[in-house]
Amino acid sequence: MRILVIGDPHGNRKIFDIPLDNIDCVLIPGDLGSSNLARKYYFEYDIKQSKPWGETLPKEKVEEAFLEIVSTIEKILKHFDKAKIPTYWIHGNVEDTIDDRIEKYKLNVTKLSDMKFDNVKLINYKKSKFEDITFIGIPYFKDADWIMRFTPENEVSLLRAQKKQELARQHLKELGKADIVMMHDLPYGIMDKVRNPSATQSWQGKHAGSKILLDYIKKTEPKIVLCGHMHENAGMEMLGKTKIINVGSEGKYLIIDIVGKEITITKH
């Protein structure tokens, strides 16, 4: 079996140039959409001013930012659907709560849940199987520990994170084990130090991964864990028997060849 794994696309058109010959299935661990505007507004308003940008900016600007995200996601999913290659993906932080906010702000933007494809499957908190390989998808969630480390003053975000992490724990308990796990975020302490120069200065050098995901990996020991999110930390590390891979972003990809019990990974 030959699996194509694509790091956070963020709408980059390099994705469309990746050769698909002899590819049996595609895995994308989140952040498909281009979020240049949303990211800019998030750091300017949510982080610097503690004001939700979606509720602060004029509606036309909010709609423009969401349209950028959704339209680029749709183009990528249509590309793989048209290629008729089974494609599995999860929500990253770019896709997180998109539909809820489109509805809340009454935006004239297509919701992700309204997109229908024949060969593309969203596996948020789901287990799927292709041939003899089982996959689990764990979408992005911001846990309470992250809030306490990075934005402890934001009580609203803390309460929201507490609810999300309990939901994540329950899902992970029910899902159990799999051969390959896609999780957008990184586990705590594994390739998760903030080094991106565009991030807030007070965040630099801090561990940004999830302790909940770390615990899950230690308990279930999947063969491979595929992550993204922190573009500056692309690479591979072992955690016990598990190979953890931060695939990278914007055109970076790798090929996983599985023949019997032999697994070969080729980075591109």
CATH number at residue 97: 3.60.21.10
Average pLDDT, integer, range 114-142: 96
Instruction: Look at residue 58 and give its three-state secondary structure.
Output: coil
CA 68 to chain centroid: 17
Query: Residue 181 pLDDT more than 90?
Result: yes
Query: For residues 24 and 131, is the Cβ–Cβ distance under 8 A?
Result: yes
Who's near 35: CB < 8 A, 6+ residues apart? 10, 65, 68, 69, 94
Element (H, E) at 129: strand 126-130
Q: Determine what percent of the chain is predicted with pLDDT higher than 70.
A: 100
> Is the predicted pLDDT of residue 156 greater than 90, yes or no?
no
Determine contact, residues 58/38, Cβ cutoff 8 Å.
Answer: no
Whole domain around residue 21: which residue ranges? 2-267
Cα(120)–Cα(99) distance, integer angstroms: 18
The mean per-residue pLDDT over the stretch 105-131 comes to 96
* Domains of the chain: total: 1
**pLDDT score of 193:** 95
Residue 71 corresponds to which tokens in the numbers above? 């339209």
Determine contact, residues 27/4, Cβ cutoff 8 Å. yes
* CA 166/CA 142 separation, integer angstroms: 11
pLDDT of residue 46: 85
Convert the pLDDT of each residue in 53-102 to its tens digit: 999 999 999 999 999 999 999 999 999 999 999 999 999 999 999 999 99
- In sign, the C-alpha dihedral spanning 136, 26, 226, 195 is negative
Tokens encoding 149: 């480390």
pLDDT of residue 223: 97
Q: Tell the burial category of 143 from Cβ atoms under 10 Å away from its Cβ (0-12, 13-18, 19+).
A: buried
* Alpha helical stretches, state H, the chain: 36-41, 53-56, 59-82, 98-104, 144-150, 155-175, 211-220
pLDDT at residue 43 is higher than 90? no
Cα→Cα distances 234→169, 192, 206, Å: 26, 10, 17
Cα–Cα distance between 222 and 204 in angstroms, integer?
A: 30
Q: Where residue 168 falls among pLDDT bands split at 50, 70, 90? A: very high
**Mind listing the pLDDT tens digit for each residue in 192-221?**
999 988 788 889 999 999 999 999 999 999
Per-residue pLDDT band for 177 (boundaries 50, 70, 90) equals very high
Q: What is the mean pLDDT of the chain?
A: 94
Say how far apart CA 111 and CA 119 lie, in whole Å: 19
- Asked whether residue 12 carries a pLDDT value surpassing 90, the answer given is yes
Give the chain's radius of gyration (CA, Å): 18
